[in-house]
Structure 1
Amino acid sequence: MAIEGAQTPPDVVEDVFDGRATDIEVEDAGEDATRIQRPWNPDQIRVNTSQFSLRNILDQIDEGSIELAPDFQRLRVWRVDQKSLLVESLLLQIPLPAFYFAEDADGSFRVVDGLQRLSTLHSFVRGGETGFALGKLEHLDDLKDLRFSDLPVPFQRRINNTQLIVNVIDPTTPRGVTYEIFKRINTGGTPLNAQEIRHCMSSPRSRDILHRMTHTDAFAKATGGRLTNHIRMNDREMALRFAAFWLKGVAAYHERPVMEQFLMDATEMLDSAKQVPDERVAELEVVFERAMHRASMVFGEHAFRKWPQGDDYRRPINRALFETWSMALADPEDATHEDTSMDLFTRREAIVKAARDRMTTDVTYLNAITSSTADRHRVDYRFKAAVADAGAGQ
């Protein structure tokens, strides 16, 4: 049944990865969303080239000097045959492409490019029984089904002695420049997305915070149960977006309207106990969980999804709706009482109607949650709209 005055909602395109739907709507953030502050002073970019044996690299991984971001879901997407061909390249003494590391001030390294390759080699050589056996090979068929410990000693030695070229980004290089370098050389078989890059560049503190935020029953219920441990780390990005706006405010985004920079800054804040003390982190997690509970209480299975009047089709999660409605449903920073949730419960039908009406007839709003979503004016409009709709029925 057509609704008088209704606009045709923009086509919703669901992101697909490795042949699987991700339950996340593809975002058109616009060109400005990815522009880290420019111009740079070329003198600030310092990259040194070194050569290490694979044995030395694996030793540093084992001792913790090189971190492989253990909860990085994307590492699982390489098939055994792909991993086996990488090992075969070493056995055939075929040089591997250069690796990129970013050095921290304490002398430890983060893998900027080559994370999947290093993880694969570490799993094969040091994984023992938990590692993998070689699968299909193109030239060394007689080694199929063998683990590292099963290989002839000369082959084991050849792998361990393989020389790897590593370009090391000096710790004095600005973080934003390192991020841009990461993006530019991120040319593997399955390039990392923005959140995966941030994850690799961040410290355990922010990663643990985002992990806890996305591993609650309230988050699972509000996002339909498909987002937790998301293969593209979109669950962590959603939590980070909430944290960024909650910690910094919408006004801070207006001052510097570059979404990737905004989220990178928030990641650095979460990594710093000085900028965001543990008490503040605990408050963030409580408020976020409460917002997730309220989102599912008000919108049910349509939380954070486009839901125009006259159409009950369950669409994928929309990032712009997530960041605005999670903030609109969060308590003020000093709120400690539960009467707000009861008030939302009694007004939920009015709130849903206001939100659905807006998604049906407000072209400006539809644009703000669909295209050029990082534009400061569209960010401002959708945040104000969510706050207004959250107040419906009062």
Structure 2
Amino acid sequence: MPEKKPTEEINSFGESVGIELEREPRGKDIVIGEPFNPDDIDISTRSMTIDLLLSRIEDGALDLAPDFQRRAGIWNEKQQSRLIESLLLRIPLPTLYAAEDDNDHWVIVDGIQRLTTITRFISPSYIKSVPLRLQQLEYLGDDFNQCTYEDLPARLKRRLRETELVVHLIKNGTPEEVKFNIFARINTGGLPLSAQELRHALIPGSVREVLRKLAECKEFKEATCNSIKDERMAAREMVLRYIAFKLTPPNNYKERDFDRFLSTSMHSVNALSRQSLLKLGRDFKASLVAASSIFGVDAYRKRYSPDDGRYPINKALFESITVALSNLTDMQRDVCVRNARKIKKSFIELMNDAAFDSSISQGTGDASKVRRRFSAIKHLLEAHSR
């Protein structure tokens, strides 16, 4: 029997992301789909002064991934102040993890908040931030509460800048899927990155801006009823899933590792021409408008009967419906909109097919389930587009 109260994904702030969880989620680890040569892994450990790290930030050679600063102060003022207090007290900080790209630029993947806090206190202009003013210190409060870096005595300024932090640097040349696996294993900071945030950090290029713009477009927000929160890049992952299956027809999908499939698709977007990107965006938006017109507030949501309550957005339905509608002509989409009532009735019948329900509810990265759901949605829409 179908679940009548599906669970929604919850972000690190304890809020619903607006997306339905799979009944059997793949798990938090990013797996390696094929064997790799351990000799390809190249990780160096460096002890670097804060001064050297700040120099890299100033030169643009160290990326703090500002897109991850989803809310002003994920760490509040007290937490940031206590970190600076730890440095002043010579308490060692946890290790930082970074990845190196082709140009010897580093991306911080574990330790973003720590390094951002340090930069905000010592050199706030490097990250275009207001200076951090210390508050609610536990041991140094009487002397340093309300102090900025400029208010500190010279010896403490020097102490901060000469403090050494340990950085584990995954060198350029380490296979990308191995990088993802490593970061998934060690990503233990106060706000561990989601799979899409890891992809965003490790795969630079135009794809970052493409995903952001499409996730923020009014057509996406209207079609999803503004229910998808993007603080953890949930909306961008949904856009990427659409693009991935738009570029790779579902019948050609054979991946054993869905996360790697999405990563490969990000690289494919980077290789597209401007004209191809514009068409990709136009098709996506046209599909969103059509889905909203056909399904209304139920777009991309399960419905087993007319009397069901409203379900959260389902990722597998989103990618299947958006791709299918994007492949229709404008005229065919218009016919589908006119046949909305029939489509919704047929969709309820489809949802009560156990095999289809399974294909959008559990193990959704399995190739046979990918083909099943895309084929079923394609045939449903095409049948009402004539």
With structure 2 as the length reference, what TM-score do the two structures score? 0.92
* Counterpart for residue 333 of structure 2: 341
Deviates more, 1:101-110 or 1:9-18: 9-18
Aligned 1:227-246 pairs, distance under 5 A: 227=228, 230-246=230-246
Relative to structure 1, is the Cα distance of residues 204 and 141 closer, same or farther in structure 2, using a 3 angstrom cutoff? farther
Paired letter, 1:270: V
Deviation at 1:150, TM superposition (A): 2.7
What is the aligned length? 378
Deviation at 1:291, TM superposition (A): 1.2
Question: Do residues 84 (structure 1) and 76 (structure 2) align?
Answer: no
Are the equivalent residues in 2 in contact too, given 1:100–1:113 (CA < 8 A)? yes
* Counterpart for residue 376 of structure 1: 367
Work out which of the residue numbers 7, 14, 34 in structure 1 matches 2:8: 14
For the residues of structure 1 that align with 2:112 and 2:268, how far apart are their CA atoms? 24
Deviation at 1:153, TM superposition (A): 2.8
SS, match of residue 216 in structure 2: coil
Question: Do residues 366 (structure 1) and 337 (structure 2) align?
Answer: no
For the residues of structure 2 that align with 1:366 and 1:10, how far apart are their CA atoms? 13
Relative to structure 1, is the Cα distance of residues 237 and 102 closer, same or farther in structure 2, using a 3 angstrom cutoff? same
SS, match of residue 130 in structure 1: coil
Question: Do residues 213 (structure 1) and 195 (structure 2) align?
Answer: no
Mark the runs of 5 or more structure 1 residues left unpaired by the alignment. 1-6
Relative to structure 1, is the Cα distance of residues 137 and 31 closer, same or farther in structure 2, using a 3 angstrom cutoff? closer
Deviation at 1:368, TM superposition (A): 1.4
Higher relative contact order (CA closer than 8 Å, sequence separation 6+): 1
Are the equivalent residues in 2 in contact too, given 1:31–1:372 (CA < 8 A)? no
Deviation at 1:131, TM superposition (A): 3.4
Deviation at 1:313, TM superposition (A): 2.1
Relative to structure 1, is the Cα distance of residues 146 and 295 closer, same or farther in structure 2, using a 3 angstrom cutoff? farther
For the residues of structure 2 that align with 1:286 and 1:232, how far apart are their CA atoms? 25
For the residues of structure 2 that align with 1:33 and 1:51, how far apart are their CA atoms? 28
For the residues of structure 1 that align with 2:232 and 2:207, how far apart are their CA atoms? 17
Mark the runs of 5 or more structure 2 residues left unpaired by the alignment. none
For the residues of structure 2 that align with 1:22 and 1:48, how far apart are their CA atoms? 37
* Counterpart for residue 68 of structure 1: 64
For the residues of structure 1 that align with 2:95 and 2:78, how far apart are their CA atoms? 22
Deviation at 1:10, TM superposition (A): 5.3
Deviations 1:243-270 (Å, cap 9, x if unpaired)? 111112213422x231101001111222
Relative to structure 1, is the Cα distance of residues 310 and 345 closer, same or farther in structure 2, using a 3 angstrom cutoff? closer
For the residues of structure 2 that align with 1:36 and 1:328, how far apart are their CA atoms? 30
* Counterpart for residue 268 of structure 1: 267
* Counterpart for residue 4 of structure 1: none
Question: Do residues 385 (structure 1) and 376 (structure 2) align?
Answer: yes
Deviation at 1:31, TM superposition (A): 6.4
For the residues of structure 2 that align with 1:21 and 1:14, how far apart are their CA atoms? 6
Deviates more, 1:218-227 or 1:312-321: 312-321
SS, match of residue 52 in structure 1: strand
Aligned 1:169-188 pairs, distance under 5 A: 169-188=170-189
For the residues of structure 2 that align with 1:303 and 1:125, how far apart are their CA atoms? 48
For the residues of structure 1 that align with 2:75 and 2:29, how far apart are their CA atoms? 30
Aligned 1:284-323 pairs, distance under 5 A: 284-323=280-319
SS, match of residue 77 in structure 1: coil
Question: Do residues 134 (structure 1) and 134 (structure 2) align?
Answer: yes
Question: Do residues 23 (structure 1) and 18 (structure 2) align?
Answer: yes
For the residues of structure 1 that align with 2:203 and 2:224, how far apart are their CA atoms? 25
For the residues of structure 1 that align with 2:199 and 2:294, how far apart are their CA atoms? 32
Paired letter, 1:238: M
* Counterpart for residue 323 of structure 2: 327
Relative to structure 1, is the Cα distance of residues 81 and 33 closer, same or farther in structure 2, using a 3 angstrom cutoff? closer
Deviation at 1:235, TM superposition (A): 0.5
For the residues of structure 2 that align with 1:150 and 1:26, how far apart are their CA atoms? 49
Relative to structure 1, is the Cα distance of residues 130 and 31 closer, same or farther in structure 2, using a 3 angstrom cutoff? closer
Deviates more, 1:282-291 or 1:79-88: 79-88
Deviation at 1:29, TM superposition (A): 4.0
Paired letter, 2:332: T
Deviations 1:297-353 (Å, cap 9, x if unpaired)? 111111111122133422221111111111111136xx6xx3233212111111111
Relative to structure 1, is the Cα distance of residues 78 and 311 closer, same or farther in structure 2, using a 3 angstrom cutoff? farther
Deviates more, 1:371-380 or 1:232-241: 371-380
* Counterpart for residue 166 of structure 1: 167
Question: Do residues 356 (structure 1) and 348 (structure 2) align?
Answer: yes
Work out which of the residue numbers 66, 88, 93 in structure 2 matches 1:96: 93
SS, match of residue 22 in structure 1: strand
Deviations 1:73-103 (Å, cap 9, x if unpaired)? 4464222222222211111111112212211
For the residues of structure 1 that align with 2:290 and 2:369, how far apart are their CA atoms? 24
Paired letter, 2:249: G
Question: Do residues 114 (structure 1) and 111 (structure 2) align?
Answer: yes
Relative to structure 1, is the Cα distance of residues 278 and 138 closer, same or farther in structure 2, using a 3 angstrom cutoff? same
For the residues of structure 1 that align with 2:14 and 2:379, how far apart are their CA atoms? 39
Paired letter, 2:17: T
Relative to structure 1, is the Cα distance of residues 145 and 312 closer, same or farther in structure 2, using a 3 angstrom cutoff? farther
For the residues of structure 1 that align with 2:293 and 2:256, how far apart are their CA atoms? 32
